[in-house]
Amino acid sequence: MRKTTKYAVFSTRWGYFGIAGTHEGLIRTHLPAADAGRVRSGLLHDLPGAEPDKDLFSRAQQLIRAYFEGDRIDFSDGAPVQLGQLSGFTASVLTACRRIGFGRTTTYSKLAESLGRPNAARAVGNALAANPLPLIIPCHRVIRGDGEMGGFSAPGGTILKSRLLLHERGRPEQPEAARDESGRATSGR
């Protein structure tokens, strides 16, 4: 039986957010942007035949909206994920990353050590760069050993990574992703 991929693009305080998945769980997210079309095209870039479903994982949508409103959200409950399409190592890195609590950070090295691979910090970084579920799997919470941001391959790059971390520490800032092309802040609603 073929799994039907569905998707939803919905508004949050930071802009439009996208999710895609099957009945088994989420397979991809797209972090907020001011333009719903941009989110949709980024979300669906290699998911031909994905069908819109505004009610897809409605609990996850509620949690994502609450997160961007400033609530302390644990996405491990209410946002099922599907990692079977990834390599075993990448899936193990993302599973370990998912356990990093709201407002906390760890380093690439410590995450590698937690997997029993103390010399695999670079490989951990590469696995996080392939994270198809940013926010739900909080790769933004992994930083360099010297306290610097490190990379962030999602749209918005390290600026967005920094803003997400500030947001979780209770110092919200208007996110770059929720600005229009002229630089004016937008609500995304």
User: For the segment 121-169, what is each residue's pLDDT rounded down to a tens digit?
Assistant: 999 999 999 999 999 999 999 999 998 888 888 888 899 999 999 999 9
Q: What is the mean pLDDT of the chain?
A: 88
pLDDT (0 to 100) of residue 155? 83
Options 39, 97, 120, 139, the catalytic residue: 139
Q: Is 139 a catalytic residue?
A: yes
CA distance linking residue 9 with residue 54, whole number of Å: 7
Beta bridge partners of 137: 134
Low-confidence stretches of the chain (pLDDT beneath 70): 1-2, 171-189
Closest CA to 177 of 134, 123, 141, 143: 134
Domain 88-168 has CATH 1.10.10.10: yes
Q: Looking at the chain, which residues constitute the CATH 3.30.160 domain(s)? A: 6-69
Q: CATH top-level class for 6-69?
A: alpha beta
The DSSP code for 154 is S
Delimiting residues of CATH 1.10.10.10 domain(s) in the chain: 88-168
Q: Which pLDDT value is given to residue 172? A: 56
pLDDT for position 2: 61
CB half-sphere exposure, 87, CA atoms < 13 A: 9
Q: H or E element: which one contains 66?
A: helix 58-69
